[in-house]
Amino acid sequence: MNQERLLELFEYKDGFLYNRVTRSPLAAQGQLAGSLNKSNGYWRVTADKKVIQYSRAIWMYHNGDIPNGFQIDHINGDCCDNRIENLRLCTGQQNEWNKHRKAGVRFESGKWRARYSHNGQDKHIGMFDTKYEAESAYWNIVKPIRDQYLKGAI
């Protein structure tokens, strides 16, 4: 899928794609294109027998090909908000740093575990009695690193 083909098939409006042409009985001209993937919460669209994530399709619709090694990130963390102003090109590591506050914290063996990944290595922060303590510990370590990535300093 490339920008030229996306422009032929779809129109963009307010974070959604609409069929520019009738592509099948289920994809009529003017109709909302795509559907929500209930297993992961992301929108997707099918074109030319290929399934593509909505955010990728919308970014490519506006900007062209996505360079190898890059991903599309939802700036506000809402994977259903596919407005072009909420999408940015980033590395996988930068995308990880923009996850919701719950990232890096999970309930295990009666305690809350905090951990993070940096440069491909998992780092254990500790086990905590409350979710709040685990989240605080996580963000005390991760926020300075995350901020450097988001600014492009690392």
Burial of 107 (0-12, 13-18, 19+ CB in 10 A): exposed
What's the confidence (pLDDT) of residue 153?
A: 59
Tens place of pLDDT per residue across the chain (154 aa)? 899 999 999 999 999 999 999 999 989 999 999 998 877 778 999 999 999 999 999 999 999 999 999 999 988 777 889 999 999 999 887 777 666 545 688 888 888 889 887 777 888 999 999 888 888 898 888 888 777 776 765 5
What's the confidence (pLDDT) of residue 147?
A: 76
What's the confidence (pLDDT) of residue 101?
A: 44
Domains and CATH numbers, the chain: 3-68 (no CATH), 99-150 (3.30.730.10)
What's the confidence (pLDDT) of residue 14?
A: 93
